[in-house]
Amino acid sequence: MRVFLASIPLPGTSIVVIGAGDAAAAKARLFDGSGAKLRWFAGPAAEPDEAWITRWPEAEDLCGARLVFIALPDPTQSAFFAGLGRTSGAQVNVVDQPGLSDFHTPALIDRDGVVVGIATGGVAPVLAREVRARVEAALPQGLDRLARLAEGLRETVMATLPDFMARRRFWEAAFRGAPRDLAVEGRTAEARREMLRLLNRPEQPKGVVHLVGAGPGDPELLTLKALRALQDADLIIHDRLAPPAVLDRARRDARRIYVGKRRGEHSVPQEQIAELMIAEAKAGHRVVRLKGGDPFVFGRGGEELEAVRAAGIDVIVVPGITAALGCAAAAGIPLTHRDQAQAVSFVTAETRPGGAGPDWTSLAVPNHTLAVYMGVAGAAAVQAGLIAAGRAPDTPVAVIENGSRPDQRVLTGRLDGLARLVAREKVISPALLIVGEVAAWARSSATEQEVAA
């Protein structure tokens, strides 16, 4: 290890910033609301402002300072004030001059009570910021609430669990389980009650089920909340629409159970999936039910939510980018357009056996986009139903296979040739059908084909 990061309590600490301009302002902003006493010397040329002092500091100004930040263009002047700061006993940082600095400012992720720093020893600050962006994506905004909650219960935990390892097991359960989820959601009173329950009955961890939307397939389209759920999961129950690239973002030691379905080939009945989620949650596990797209858009998420709630299990729904949004965007198709589409409908071509099909009459109006899910096998029925209901045969259509993924394929044509297009090009699921004037916007690229119907 070439760099050691230390945590310095800030309330009551004296901090000095020397210099004007953006770099000095950035250093000063670090201490807004920190409780530190900040003195900012902007120099005699600075415009008068209550935020800074319009002169350079003297030796007595630096007495008692813990940290001194210098952001000046003149190296000689910087070296002078650096020496002045060290003489006063302060640690000195000179912006963009690591050789003159006693310490370097890391790239910081600030969650109030929780601060994360990424440091490169001053040699690659831009790289540190890039790493910070990736780490920040995995940290919930409400993490500070969890830290404050832990602070308030610390003495109680110490008194209740004098054994160090028992305390450690308690905090691990609290920070990985339901208390954490409730706290970051803003439900701090419930989180506190759950922590106290864990404290009194540590042998009974409370499980939770997350219904998580995996999006259309591109792992970078996962929401931040979905990513956090995957990285905290004890068990991931996933379908075939969750590609390996998405599962690779999950906690590596989490168990994984595949329950994928395809038309006419249901590997695990829906009732058994619900029973599995309930049993695992009752065992105290954090269960992620990972579903392609969004769990509440043709994903049977409502059925699973109802079953798990009825069993008295906590459920957190994490929406995902549904196929209509993700695939259309990947193909360059706007679902609505002021001139071509004043409405959009999401339709499934697959219905329950014996159930009613879509009302094509209400869906066949012009300037109306249809995003048809699970429509590969039913392409002929979609085509016939819309034309019979009055939709023009030359209405543009697009077929997006594996939308947003590296093997994405986009096919375009006319409504009256939709079934022939799907059959001739051997389209396989997952694929989305888009019917409407906006389908003519479909974009062609090296990984896509444009085929006349």
Q: Does the pLDDT at position 449 exceed 50?
A: no
How high is the pLDDT of residue 114? 82
**Closest-CA residue to 216 (of 80, 124, 330):** 330
Among 28-32, 123-127, 336-340, name the one with the lowest average pLDDT. 123-127
Provide DSSP, 352-395. -TT-----HHHH--SSEEEEEES-STTHHHHHHHHHHTT--TT-
Please name the helix (run of DSSP H) or strand (run of DSSP E) that holds residue 29, with its range, or none: helix 22-29
Active site residue 261: yes
Cα–Cα distance between 225 and 115 in angstroms, integer?
Answer: 19
Q: Are 330 and 400 in contact (CB under 8 A)?
A: yes
Instruction: Count other C-beta atoms under 10 Å from residue 99's C-beta.
Output: 8
User: How deeply is 87 buried, as exposed, middle or buried, from its count of CB atoms within 10 A (0-12, 13-18, 19+)?
Assistant: exposed
How high is the pLDDT of residue 86? 95
Q: Where are the alpha helices (DSSP H) in 161-287?
A: 164-176, 178-184, 188-200, 224-232, 244-247, 270-282
How high is the pLDDT of residue 265? 56
How high is the pLDDT of residue 296? 95
Q: What percent of the chain has pLDDT over 70?
A: 94
| Cα→Cα distances 230→212, 294, 414, Å | 9, 15, 41
Instruction: Count other C-beta atoms under 10 Å from residue 379's C-beta.
Output: 22
Task: Return the structure tokens found at 303.
Answer: 């059925």
Q: Does the pLDDT at position 262 exceed 80?
A: no
Q: Does the pLDDT at position 205 exceed 80?
A: no
Cα–Cα distance between 296 and 309 in angstroms, integer?
Answer: 15
Instruction: List phi, psi (to 5°) of 53.
Output: -110, 130
**Closest-CA residue to 293 (of 330, 263, 320, 259):** 320
pLDDT in tens, 1-54: 778 888 888 999 999 999 999 999 999 999 988 899 999 999 999 999 999 999
**Closest-CA residue to 373 (of 238, 241, 218, 214):** 241
How high is the pLDDT of residue 131? 87
| Cα→Cα distances 196→152, 158, 160, 242, 416, Å | 12, 13, 10, 37, 64
How high is the pLDDT of residue 322? 95
| Strands (DSSP E) found in 42-198 | 67-70, 91-94, 107-111, 114-118
Instruction: Count other C-beta atoms under 10 Å from residue 134's C-beta.
Output: 9
How high is the pLDDT of residue 452? 39
Please name the helix (run of DSSP H) or strand (run of DSSP E) that holds residue 324, with its range, or none: helix 323-330
Q: Can you tell me the mean pLDDT for 165-169?
A: 78
Number of H helices, E strands in the chain: 16, 18
- Average pLDDT score over the chain: 89
pLDDT in tens, 71-84: 999 999 999 999 99
Catalytic residue (one of 239, 294, 314, 416):
239
Q: Does the pLDDT at position 128 exceed 90?
A: no
- The residues that bridge with 68 in the sheet, in sequence order, are 16, 92
pLDDT in tens, 303-326: 999 999 999 999 999 999 999 999
* 265 DSSP 8-state letter: E
Cα–Cα distance between 332 and 42 in angstroms, integer?
Answer: 50
Q: Does the pLDDT at position 446 exceed 50?
A: no
